[in-house]
Every structure is written in C-alpha cells, then in structure tokens.
Structure 1
Amino acid sequence: MSSDLRIGSIVLNVSDVARAMAFWMPALDYEPRYEPEPDWAILQPRGEVGPNLSLNLGETRPAPAPHLHLDLYARDQAREVDRLVGLGARRVDDWPYPAEAHDFVVLEDPDGNRFCVIDASGA
C-alpha cells in the first residue's frame, strides 16, 4: 500500500521572521507563498518544485547538534558557502568533522539553525 504523504514544509523556529526571510529567500531562491505575518511565513521555491520552508517565531534556541537539519546540495560548494556567508550565515568551526569527510561544510543561519552545504559536483 503506497502512502499519500509527502513533505510539504520544513519548519524552522526563528527569533525574527523578517530577518530569517531576508536570509532564506535569497539563499534558496524562495519567495513568500502568502503575505507573511510577524510570527509566521511560508516560503516556497520559485516554480513551486520542492518543499516549502516555513519560519515560525519562537523563543527556543537551536541545539548545537540538532536531530534534524537541512542538507543543501551545491555543484560549486565553495562558491555557495561564500555566497551564504555573505548573506549572513556563519561557519561552524567546532563541528566534529570525521577525517574522511570532505564533502560537507556546516553553517548556521542568523538564528543559529545549522545546515550543511554538500559538494554535489560529482552527482
């Protein structure tokens, strides 16, 4: 029996919805799905292919080693990391990278939500 479920939206708790929108919209080339509210916004990919990213005003801080995070695939990882840092992301230098791990860089958004930029140049 197949399921009718799909990932419709990934929700991030943020301390400032407008600031999070200012980062994530250009980072992913997303746009608001509806008129954003001060405590909630749904961003969708231009062309509507892929999951939404919802931004929820919250007071909790992200965990340093989150149970769930985004993996963003890039054909030119170094260029994308530099671009994201220019938008306000920060490198996570204290991440325990395994010696054999050369295909990902850990960053965090302005709210401290951690995500990886994966080298997908060989994919």
Structure 2
Amino acid sequence: MSAGVRHDVAMVNIGAIVLNVSDRHRASGFWSKALGYQPTPENPDFLVDPAGKGARLHLDETDRTHLDLWAEPGQQQAEVERLLALGATKPDWVYPEDADFVVLADPDGNLFCVIGD
C-alpha cells in the first residue's frame, strides 16, 4: 500500500459501459431509441444522454463488454492502487504504446479499465 492512498474514497466513476455488439449501426439505432441517447459528433460509436446524465455507452464489435472507470485528473495510479488493495487483480495485458488505461479484474475475474492521465 502506498502512503497517502485512501482506500475508502472513490476517485473514479463509471465513464462508459463498453458493450460488445455484432453490428454497431443496428445497436446504435436500438440503444439510441431505448435510452434516448444520441451518438457523439466526434465518434458515432459513443452514445450519450443529451441531458448529460449517466455513463456513455460505447458500442464495439471487437472488445468484450466491460466498464470503463474514469479517474479524476492525476489520480489514475492512486486509484489503481486503491482498487488493487480492495481485491482487484492486474491480469497480463498487452497495451498499445499510447494507452491511457489500466486493465484490472474484479474478485470474480470481470475485467474493467481505469482510464486517466
């Protein structure tokens, strides 16, 4: 455990739910109507609530379904350490050079990402 890391205070929130789909366009039509979400102008695979509530829905044909937890600026490493102390594990993962995420697994083996820095 690192000094100064509080294990009882979350510094992350669910920024996106990554949903594995077989057809992004069909899924976008369904989820847009089901949730009232709209595709973002910069990436139509991200759907957001126009009122700014709730997490983004990221539709992906290649990635598995998982949560993206967004860390506060400058807090990614502290949050990773906090989650590891709570029982998360760090699976073997091949990261791209410019990765802004850390892959962890919950105690049941469900993968999730901590996004930040």
How does the TM-score come out when normalised to structure 2? 0.46
Higher relative contact order, chain-length normalized (CA < 8 Å, sep 6+)? 2
TM-score, structure 1 length as denominator?
0.44
